Structure 1
């Protein structure tokens, strides 16, 4: 990965801002940073609710627990991309913060050279190969790209996982992930094991809201 503010090129938001200024607006890191700050951390007219597209990321930015990186891997580099994503889990656990704020840590890796059908298919395989690894550790792993058709939770016509370059993000599973747990069977049991009472209440409230 490129970058200079941590192992493997993973850097804080402030270091990313400095590197992006030096690299120019067309650099992949600049594109990733702009997407994180101007899309994930802000509201959207089609979101279907108030608040930021990703309130988790906005709060993590306030706590300085967001880390960004850019990978130079291409579609043919699946094993290298896999190793970079796997190391992202260790990076996540190493982000310094107060014990009560650990669940706000997140790592976001951009793959600008995978912006092709083959590249996105490769990253999907990398994501799938990490599904059980992430669930056993109460982590979430997501893939975002320009042609994502994943519907929004509050507006099914909205495509919240679209990004200007392919991105894999790793973060902690949190209590507010009830809508994701309801949608993905593999996530449901780990979610309820992690949040047995509060999680059950959130799931019931989510399902009731959807039935109305």
Structure 2
């Protein structure tokens, strides 16, 4: 059972009414203020900011802060969930993916959407973090199949930055699963596995016809992956 909390008269960071949901109804409501503050501080002061350890310019994630600032972010807090039961955790997160895919506006012809959801698991500890890491490949495959991207974050996350393998980029003060729609630049992350790239190609191949995609890196990665995974008669005129 869920409840949508009423936000203060001045909602934090442009969050619209109904943006925060908490499960289950009950005593956990007394914790939501502090937990929300921790998550929003992490989004604003870490995820949305540059870091010299990234090995590239720009914020840790260029997507999350605009999503928050434009009122396109939703936050779903699940209390009493420690993520030590694999089947229960898988079911919870797959349900969240399905719900987001069904209820948020998908990208139009532009290929862009600011819609996102942060699934926050405040009662998950080290055993739960480890289990989520073990499930991540399966969860990513499910997300990509729905046209979504997913990322796991927690205090002991070992995910490394693409341009600096010594930087553990996905650490967070609390366990968070971030979900958004697949975007044009995701060829950076979906070019190495056939099923991933085919899902990307289905959604974005038309963008690479002509000069619509001007970023040379994206075009180069796309062409290389298309040549590897997509039969020539399906690829069209791109290069």
The TM-score, its normalising length taken from structure 2, stands at 0.66
Q: 1:23 to 1:98 in 2, by over 3 A?
A: same
Residue in 1 aligned with 2:228?
A: none
Q: 1:95 to 1:207 in 2, by over 3 A?
A: closer
Q: Larger C-alpha radius of gyration, 1 or 2?
A: 2
Task: Name the CA distance, whole Å, in 2 between partners of 1:46 and 1:135.
Answer: 28
- Where do 1:53-64 residues align within 5 Å? 53-64=60-71
SS in 1 for 2:177: strand
Task: Name the CA distance, whole Å, in 1 between partners of 2:200 and 2:105.
Answer: 24
Residue in 2 aligned with 1:86?
A: 94
Task: Name the CA distance, whole Å, in 2 between partners of 1:101 and 1:61.
Answer: 19
Is the CA contact 1:109–1:167 (under 8 Å) kept in the aligned structure 2? yes
Is the CA contact 1:65–1:106 (under 8 Å) kept in the aligned structure 2? yes
- Where do 1:1-212 residues align within 5 Å? 4-5=4-5, 13=15, 23=31, 27-72=34-79, 73-89=81-97, 90-91=99-100, 93-95=102-104, 103-116=113-126, 118-182=127-191, 186-196=195-205, 197=208, 198=213, 202=218, 204=220
SS in 2 for 1:133: helix
Q: CA deviation at 1:93?
A: 4.3
Residue in 1 aligned with 2:232?
A: none
SS in 1 for 2:166: coil
Q: Which protein is richer in helix relative to its size? A: 1
Residue in 1 aligned with 2:9?
A: none
Q: 1:77 to 1:160 in 2, by over 3 A?
A: same
Is the CA contact 2:35–2:122 (under 8 Å) kept in the aligned structure 1? yes
Task: Name the CA distance, whole Å, in 1 between partners of 2:174 and 2:195.
Answer: 27
- How many residue pairs end up in the alignment? 198
Is the CA contact 2:120–2:176 (under 8 Å) kept in the aligned structure 1? yes
Task: Name the CA distance, whole Å, in 2 between partners of 1:132 and 1:42.
Answer: 28
Q: CA deviation at 1:132?
A: 3.3
CA RMSD in angstroms, aligned pairs only: 3.6
Is the CA contact 2:46–2:60 (under 8 Å) kept in the aligned structure 1? yes
SS in 1 for 2:57: coil
Q: 1:131 to 1:112 in 2, by over 3 A?
A: same
Is the CA contact 1:182–1:203 (under 8 Å) kept in the aligned structure 2? no
Q: CA deviation at 1:146?
A: 1.7
Q: CA deviation at 1:88?
A: 2.6
The TM-score, its normalising length taken from structure 1, stands at 0.74
Q: Deviations over 1:94-116 (max 9, x none)?
A: 34699668622111112122121
Task: Name the CA distance, whole Å, in 2 between partners of 1:98 and 1:194.
Answer: 10
Q: CA deviation at 1:161?
A: 1.0
**Ranges in structure 1 where 5+ consecutive residues have no aligned partner:** 7-11
Is the CA contact 1:13–1:68 (under 8 Å) kept in the aligned structure 2? no
